[in-house]
């Protein structure tokens, strides 16, 4: 009998009335909540809108659960089908009883994220880098659901942290097993902190931080998967190829792909969109040219009017209106008729005055002639008045008498 061990829970389901509360589902939900909370904070710190990650997480979780379950059923089909099946085939749909393949969850969940990003006009790579640490932490929390279900454990061990598994779940009395769920939980926890540090230290963008998460997870999954056993009917039924389990080969392929992507995007510096397309369009109209014009032809209504006035001035500079007149003409239209009538009356009075000027000029000329021809007359006021009253005939008679 070992001196120390990790006991497995006696039950993984509790009932609230007639509603079952399953520990496995609870761990998954807690992991998702923490991942969304952390990712939302990181997204807003990067300049994104509040609530974006929450909206994207809905299709991501739905697609992820479907993909994870499909991968589990396909790769562990002996659990539900065949002569050694320990569960009826219809229980392949009972996702709450455990069994989610991370590869399928990430792959199909990524499709949900891509659809949401495409709808909003966001960069998928920016979202992926933001959620990478949160996914690692969510996996660390979710793995404890395997502990409640007494599943995904490793081979026999004598280590003091060996895990007890009852016979109903494939264990043997007095035998301890590697707690691979605990190994992976600790690995994912450390990976999450490493991603947070790397993201701040190196400012990884364009999906490179997510690629680092994939590489880090697959590296740990490879050696943890090598410790696992999946007993069905007392026999390990895991699919192997060249002495490696299927999930180990998957880890190798995905690990290499992540490294290739990480290296290929090392010099990528194109813009990543973290605001929805509608928000970018609304904020860019004021600063960008009119789409119907070229960059050198963009103008406003005031610019068009100014160009028109300038063109008229160049074409006919002599006819250019006086600025004050233009200013007056642009006044209140109700005032213009009265001002026009006033101007017309002033013009008429000016014309009458002009007509009277010639008559006054003629009288003045005749007076000057008479005074010039009568030098001997007194220059007083009475003489001037008398000279002005003389007729032309009297002037001629006076000239004859003087001869």
Residues 33-49: b if buried by 16+ CB within 10 A, e if exposed? ebbbebbbebbbeeebe
Q: In angstroms, how far apart are the furthest CA atoms of the chain? A: 176
Q: Phi first, then psi: give them for residue 311, nearest 5 degrees.
A: -65, -40
Query: β-pairing, 244-245 with 240-241?
Result: antiparallel
345 CB neighbour count, 10 Å cutoff: 9
Structural tokens at position 234: 């007392």
Asked if residue 22 belongs to a known ligand binding site, the reply is: no
Residues of the binding site = 143
């Amino acid at each position: 009998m070992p001196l120390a061990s990790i006991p497995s829970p006696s039950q993984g389901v509790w009932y609230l009335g007639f509603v079952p509360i399953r520990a496995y589902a609870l761990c998954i939900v807690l992991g998702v909540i923490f991942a969304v909370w952390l990712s939302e904070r990181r997204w807003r710190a990067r300049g994104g809108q509040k609530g974006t990650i929450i909206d994207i997480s809905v299709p991501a979780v739905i697609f992820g659960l479907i993909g994870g379950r499909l991968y589990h059923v396909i790769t562990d089909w002996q659990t539900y089908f065949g002569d050694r099946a320990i569960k009826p085939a219809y229980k392949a749909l009972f996702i709450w009883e455990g069994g989610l393949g991370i590869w399928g969850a990430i792959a199909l969940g990524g499709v949900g994220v891509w659809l949401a990003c495409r709808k909003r006009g966001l960069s998928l790579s920016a979202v992926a880098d933001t959620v990478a640490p949160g996914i690692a932490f969510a996996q660390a929390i979710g793995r404890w659901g395997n502990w409640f279900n007494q599943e995904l454990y490793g081979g026999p061990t004598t280590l003091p942290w060996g895990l007890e598994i009852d016979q109903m779940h494939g264990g043997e009395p007095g035998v301890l097993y590697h707690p691979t769920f605990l190994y992976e939980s600790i690995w994912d926890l450390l990976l999450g902190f490493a991603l947070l540090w790397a993201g701040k230290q190196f400012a990884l963008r364009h999906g490179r931080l997510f690629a680092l998460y994939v590489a880090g997870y697959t590296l740990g999954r490879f050696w943890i998967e090598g410790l696992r056993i999946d007993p069905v009917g007392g026999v390990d039924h895991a699919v192997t190829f060249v002495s490696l389990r299927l999930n180990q080969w998957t880890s190798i392929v995905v690990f290499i792909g992540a490294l290739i992507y990480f290296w290929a995007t090392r010099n990528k510096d194109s813009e990543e969109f973290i605001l929805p397309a509608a928000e970018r369009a609304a904020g860019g109209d004021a600063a960008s040219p009119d789409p119907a014009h070229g960059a050198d032809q963009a103008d406003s209504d005031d610019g068009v009017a100014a160009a028109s006035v300038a063109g008229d001035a160049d074409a006919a500079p002599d006819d250019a209106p006086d600025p004050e007149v233009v200013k007056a003409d642009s006044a209140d239209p109700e005032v213009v008729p009265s001002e026009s009538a006033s101007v017309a009356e002033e013009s008429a009075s000016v014309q009458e005055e002009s007509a009277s000027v010639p008559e006054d000029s003629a009288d003045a000329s005749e007076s000057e002639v008479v005074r010039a021809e009568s030098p001997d007359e007194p220059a007083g006021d009475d003489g001037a008045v008398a000279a002005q009253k003389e007729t032309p005939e009297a002037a001629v008679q006076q000239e004859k008498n003087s001869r």
